[in-house]
Amino acid sequence: MNYNIALLRGDGIGPEIVDSACEVLTKVGEIYGHTFNFTPYLIGGAALDACGIPLPEETVKGCKESDSVLLGAVGGPKWDTLPGNMRPEKALLGIRSALGLYTNIRPAKLFSAMADACLLRRDVAERGVNIVMIRELTGGIYFGERGRRDGKYGPEAYDTECYSEMEIERIAHVAFRTAMLRNKRVVSIDKANVLESSRLWRATVHRIAKQYPEVECTDMLVDNAAMQLIKDPAQFDVIVTTNMFGDILSDECSQITGSIGLLPSASLGDTTCGMYEPIHGSAPDIAGQNKANPIATVLSAAMMLRYSFGLEKEAVAIETAIENVLNDGWRTGDILGASDATPLSCTEMTAKILEYIK
Ligand code: NAD
């Protein structure tokens, strides 16, 4: 089969890690008889530099016409002082919205070989971490009304959290369907003791839960959830939460699984065309130094094979290769932990993964 993939390399380490994932996809294609065609488009700071806007129309059109989208990361200090609507990060919200990608799936699994890089106490880590976080992606405070105004005490700024029942219903269905394929437990995370939008969130999730009687559905306030993820991550199976809470808690998950350089994500809507990206940012501190860990992006490519193309055994081939690379002790700098091994560069880690793909 032939698959057309739009590449949004973006900024910082984006180009390095996306190129790694393309090499891995090409190798998988050679082994399993598929052709992956890659077409690059500009996004973020790179697009600002080239054409003055963070999300050119050509990029949106190219992504819409592709079978799937692979994104590196956007942003960096060079563009940090631009006004909000011209910032590279604005392009992320724009492309997610343009493609109707309201679901963000973020698996957080502690590879057994990574126990040393995990910041949790060993006995807590040994109980295991295998969480799928379902984050709502096109609503909530990141998309609500915002602005500046003159307030009682002078200039003030505001952002608005707003969720419709429809937005909550569709993400709840994704969470329950995901749980049905796993351990049938959903924890819905909100701030219903304070926020009205959270009270609607909670009531709606419970209404949808009635359609999935086999799934146990419980609620957790976000402040408690931040604590429970550290105290006992093994208690979680599927988490469903809002755009902002999911953004923050998934970074926390990265530290209980070893490194942010290991965690992939899939953003999906109602069609098979999804967008796949690591959960980390453009890491300006290590950009251009060949130090980035490509694993999160390569695992994102595996999610693309599974969710957009239905290529399960090809996805497993990539995931198994990475697990074996880690089991054999190969590490990039961010996952060295207490090991005194020499860290691999981004290109060396990519070569290792290619070598292990069967
Ligand atoms: P970051 O995720 O880029 O980096 C945080 C830390 O993790 C840094 O020390 C970095 O070196 C390290 N790190 C991240 N990815 C790594 C990898 N693959 N391998 C090894 N180490 C890695 O977060 P930040 O520093 O807060 O943000 C930097 C820029 O990225 C900002 O402009 C921010 O807005 C942007 N950002 C973009 C996205 C996105 O494109 N999806 C997401 C988050 C942040």
The pLDDT value recorded for residue 116 is 75
pLDDT in tens, 242-254: 999 999 998 898 8
Q: Does the annotation count 150 as an active-site position?
A: no
Q: Whose CA is nearest to atom 27 of ligand 1?
A: 281
Query: Active site residue: 3, 102, 142, 212, which one?
Result: 142
Residue with tokens 């488009």: 41
* Mutate-to-test residue for ligand 1 from 276, 282, 336, highest number of ligand atoms within 8 A of CB: 282
Residue 282 Cα to ligand 1 midpoint, Å, equals 5
Residue 166 Cα to ligand 1 midpoint, Å, equals 32
The mean predicted confidence, pLDDT, of the chain is: 95
Residue 56 Cα to ligand 1 midpoint, Å, equals 23
Query: Active site residue: 49, 80, 159, 223, which one?
Result: 223
pLDDT in tens, 29-41: 999 999 999 999 9
Angle at 160 between CA 155 and CA 164, to 5 degrees: 165
Q: What is the percentage of the chain residues whose pLDDT exceeds 90?
A: 87
Q: Give 9's pLDDT tier (boundaries 50, 70, 90).
A: very high
Determine if ligand 1 sits within 6 Å of the CB of residue 343. Answer: no
Determine if ligand 1 sits within 6 Å of the CB of residue 282. Answer: yes
Determine if ligand 1 sits within 6 Å of the CB of residue 75. Answer: yes
d(CA 143, CA 137): 9
Residue 37 Cα to ligand 1 midpoint, Å, equals 27
Query: Active site residue: 190, 237, 247, 334, which one?
Result: 247
d(CA 285, CA 306): 32
The pLDDT value recorded for residue 115 is 79
CB atoms within 10 A of CB 148: 9
Torsion of CA 146, 168, 280, 268, to 10 degrees: -120
The pLDDT value recorded for residue 125 is 87
Determine if ligand 1 sits within 6 Å of the CB of residue 319. Answer: no
Model confidence at 339: pLDDT above 90 = no
Query: Active site residue: 27, 109, 191, 291, which one?
Result: 191
d(CA 26, CA 44): 26
Determine if ligand 1 sits within 6 Å of the CB of residue 257. Answer: no
CB atoms within 10 A of CB 155: 8
